Amino acid sequence: MFGWLAARSTPLCSHAPQTLVSRRTRRMTAHALMRHLPDLGNVLYLHAASSAVITETLPPGLLVAQQAFAPLLDTRWLIATSVVTDDGPREWCECVDRFGRPRARLHLLPDTDYLAWDALMSSRGSLDNPPATWPGGQWLRTDNASVVNFHTRELAGLLVLDRGPTKALSPLGHRVAAHIANAESALLSG
């Protein structure tokens, strides 16, 4: 039975519709990103190694309270991706640096503020394409994912990005976060 199914499944699958992926690109400064992040509520945050952040041109007036947030300081573009998978709809934003490399990824969760998420990618800002060197969806491998509720505060004239108290995550939100972390081969930390 299985041999028959394996031999016959290829022609059957060729008639299945292709997965449609929607991408929107927005030029985004680190200052603007830090102003929007606290409004989102809980998001799943994955990041590239923070030691790889280019430190000679970090934006003035911004600090991060945790090294894991350092890749956000190198953001020049947001690329919002939407796709419907076998597990349901997925939406995330990739934070891309000036060289076109993805540095961090923010995943929409059922507990995220959807209006704030839409405002983050609203067309009021300039729509622009990342550099031609953008690897087109290549993702830097990460081994850590966490549900974060971003918080900003002023400290000696600097805007500091920190982790706020995580709002209670719904059972569905927890399952979605765990599933995405598993798909990314990342350990979901609390």
| Residues 6+ away with beta carbon under 8 Å from 14 | none
Using one digit for the tens of pLDDT, what is the confidence trace for 56-83? 567 888 888 888 898 898 888 898 888 8
Selected residue with higher pLDDT from 121 and 179: 179
* Domain extent for 87: 17-189
**Domain assignment present for 7:** no
| Residues 6+ away with beta carbon under 8 Å from 99 | 131, 133
**Domain assignment present for 172:** yes
Closest C-alpha among 63, 135, 125, 62 to residue 97? 135
**Domain assignment present for 11:** no
Q: Is the pTM of this model over 0.85?
A: no
**Domain assignment present for 63:** yes
**Domain assignment present for 10:** no
d(CA 181, CA 186): 5
**Domain assignment present for 154:** yes
In angstroms, the Cα distances linking 90 to 4, 16, 28, 87, 120 are 33, 20, 22, 8, 16
**Domain assignment present for 27:** yes
Q: Which has the minimum average pLDDT: 5-14, 96-105, 144-153?
A: 5-14
Q: Which residues pair with 155 in a beta bridge?
A: 158
**Domain assignment present for 2:** no
- How many separate domains does the chain show? 1
Using one digit for the tens of pLDDT, what is the confidence trace for 135-146? 555 555 676 899
